Amino acid sequence: MIRAAMIFALSLSATPVLADGDVAAGEELVAKRCKTCHMIADGDNVILKGGKTGPNLYAIIGRTAGTYEGFKYGDGLIAAGAKGLVWDAEQISAYIENPKGYLAAYLDDSKAKSKMAFKLKDADDRANVAAYLASLPQ
């Protein structure tokens, strides 16, 4: 009985936690604000047709920063990934608030830069975008 309870508790801790946001509102925001630079596609299955200035956001949750194959990242995101940054809802939300500031703090390097100039200041909007991205298949 105790062993079963321990296995159950461990399985809960391995379950990904979704952001505390509104998935539908996040989907709308991504369609309005993010698709200028980003697409969401799983191979030929296009979920959101968008730009290619930024990397594909499909399965971004759980991905090491700066590692989407075929995309040319800036040095800051590559360094963050090398340091161990793996995107989750909390990190995505913090990053889109101020990409340059986030990388400077994460890397402890005031000169660290991000190619992403867009900032999403509203905390609810960031939580909604993060919740939507977390809701996509991983």
Domains of the chain plus CATH, in order, are 19-135 (1.10.760.10)
Residue 132 has a CB neighbour count (10 Å cut-off) of 26
What sign for the dihedral angle of Cα 87, 54, 119, 80?
positive
**Distance between CA atoms of residues 67 and 116, nearest Å:** 15
Is residue 60 within 8 A of residue 87, CB to CB? The reply is yes
Percent of residues, the chain, with pLDDT higher than 70? 86
If you average pLDDT over residues 45-57, what whole number do you get?
96
Tens of pLDDT, residue by residue over 105-134, are: 999 999 999 999 999 999 999 999 999 999
